[in-house]
Amino acid sequence: MQAQYAKERREIQAAKVSRDKIEECDRDFQWELRCIDDEIYSLITERLTRQAHRRLLPVAFRTERPENWEEGQFGKWYMTVKALSELRSAIRQENKERFDQWLRWLPGLTGILGTMIGLAALLIGGK
């Protein structure tokens, strides 16, 4: 998109048009970037809130913490960068805690498996 914008801008400048036309091109480019950013942040917000709900983590709604939300160009709401960062950190922390829970069982399960293999070796080797 930036390459296309740069090409259009060079063409406009080469055509020796008015400064207004160049500024209009710049405004159109900024508008398109803002629309794309809005869509990206909206999708990220949806993805992270789904992940948080699956992990039973609290997600503050717009009415509860309006400072964590922004409205996009076309009425879509999405979380601010700070709020997304906090939610992502909470999800990572929850994932780490869940992994640590499983990790605590690993030595015991390894011991039981080793014992079973040893018993099987004795039973099979004893015949």
Q: What is the mean pLDDT of residues 12-22?
A: 74
Per-residue pLDDT tens over the stretch 110-127: 999 999 999 999 999 865
Per-residue pLDDT tens over the stretch 1-14: 777 777 776 777 77
Give the residue numbers spanning the domain of 81. Answer: 2-125
CA angle 37–41–42, rounded 5-degree value: 115
Q: How many CA atoms lie within 13 A of 63 on its CB side?
A: 0
Per-residue pLDDT tens over the stretch 23-45: 887 888 888 888 899 999 999 99
The dihedral over CA atoms of 77, 82, 83, 88, expressed in degrees to the nearest 10, equals 120
Instruction: Count the neighbouring beta carbons within 10 Å of the beta carbon of residue 78.
Output: 23
CA distances from 124 to 75, 111, 112, 127 (A): 71, 20, 18, 6
Residue 49 CA, chain-centre distance (Å), reads 9
φ, ψ of residue 56 in degrees (nearest 5): 60, 35
pTM (2 d.p.)? 0.70
Q: How many structural domains comprise the chain?
A: 1
Q: Give the pLDDT score at 11.
A: 73
